[in-house]
C-alpha cells in the first residue's frame, strides 16, 4: 500500500501551474518515474517544466496541438520555441488529437457524435478538462513512440485552456489499445470543473 498527497485547486486555470509543477516534482522524487508528458500549445508551460526539472534525469515529452487546431494552416507553437525546447532536451510531439481528430470533422459536417467524442466528454464531465487532456496527450505521446508502453508509469501534466491545473500518473497505452491505459494516481486536480465566469 502506498500513500501520497493530492493537491486540490478550487478552480481550474493557469494560476495553478506553479503548484502543479511543485507537486509533480515531489511525485517524481517519491516514485522515481523517469518520464513527464506535458500538454503545451504555445510552449510556455513546457518551458516552465524544463526549468523546474533542469538537471534531473527525467525525460520530458511536450505534446502540442496539431497544425490547423486554431485555424487552417496555423501552427500554435512557433519554430523558435520548438527548437529551444528540443535543444533543452525535450521531445516535441505534434499530432492529431487522440480524442477528437477526424471524428470531430465528421460531427461538425454531419451532426451527431462519435464513440471517441463520448469518451472525451465523459472524461471531461467526470474529472475535468485537465484530466481529459492528460489522458489524450499520453495516447498521443505513446503513438509517436515518445514514451514506452507496457507496465511503465509516466507523470502527465494537462490543463484547462492555458497553463496547467491537473497532473496524474498514468500507465500509458496506444490508441489501438486505449482501454489498457490506467490512471494510477492523481497528483493535482481542480475540485470545480468550470473557471469563474
pLDDT the model gives residue 70: 76
What is the pTM assigned to this prediction? 0.92
Here the CATH number for the domain that contains residue 94 is 3.40.1380.20
Range of the domain at 164: 7-68+75-190
When divided into structural domains, the chain yields a total of 1
Q: Is 1 contained in some domain? A: no
Cα–Cα distance measured from residue 131 to residue 185, given in angstroms and rounded to the nearest whole number: 11
Cα–Cα distance measured from residue 125 to residue 32, given in angstroms and rounded to the nearest whole number: 31
pLDDT 10s digits, 84-132: 999 999 999 998 888 777 676 666 676 777 788 888 888 998 899 999 9
Q: Is 62 contained in some domain? A: yes
Q: Is 195 contained in some domain? A: no
pLDDT the model gives residue 3: 80
Q: Is 197 contained in some domain? A: no
Position 196 pLDDT exceeds 60: no
DSSP code per residue over 99-135:
TSHHHHHHHHHH-S--HHHHHHHHHHHHH-HHHHHHH
Q: Is 136 contained in some domain? A: yes
Q: Is 91 contained in some domain? A: yes
Q: Is 183 contained in some domain? A: yes
CB 130, CB 12: distance < 8 Å: yes
Q: Is 101 contained in some domain? A: yes
Amino acid at each position: 500500500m502506498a500513500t501520497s498527497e493530492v493537491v486540490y485547486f478550487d478552480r481550474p486555470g493557469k494560476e495553478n501551474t506553479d503548484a502543479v509543477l511543485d507537486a509533480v516534482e515531489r511525485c517524481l522524487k517519491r516514485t522515481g518515474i523517469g518520464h513527464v508528458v506535458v500538454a503545451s500549445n504555445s510552449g510556455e508551460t513546457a518551458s516552465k517544466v524544463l526549468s523546474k526539472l533542469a538537471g534531473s534525469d527525467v525525460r520530458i515529452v511536450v505534446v502540442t496541438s496539431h497544425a490547423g487546431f486554431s485555424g487552417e494552416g496555423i501552427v500554435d507553437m512557433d519554430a523558435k520555441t520548438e527548437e529551444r525546447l528540443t535543444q533543452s532536451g525535450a521531445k516535441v510531439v505534434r499530432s492529431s488529437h487522440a480524442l477528437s481528430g477526424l471524428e470531430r470533422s465528421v460531427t461538425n459536417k454531419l451532426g451527431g457524435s462519435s464513440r471517441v467524442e463520448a469518451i472525451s466528454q465523459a472524461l471531461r464531465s467526470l474529472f475535468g478538462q485537465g484530466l481529459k487532456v492528460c489522458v489524450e496527450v499520453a495516447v498521443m505521446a505513446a503513438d509517436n513512440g515518445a514514451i514506452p508502453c507496457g507496465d511503465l508509469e509516466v507523470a502527465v501534466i494537462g490543463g484547462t485552456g492555458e497553463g496547467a491545473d491537473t497532473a496524474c500518473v498514468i500507465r500509458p497505452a496506444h490508441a489501438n489499445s486505449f482501454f489498457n491505459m490506467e490512471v494510477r494516481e492523481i497528483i493535482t486536480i481542480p475540485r470545480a470543473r468550470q473557471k469563474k465566469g
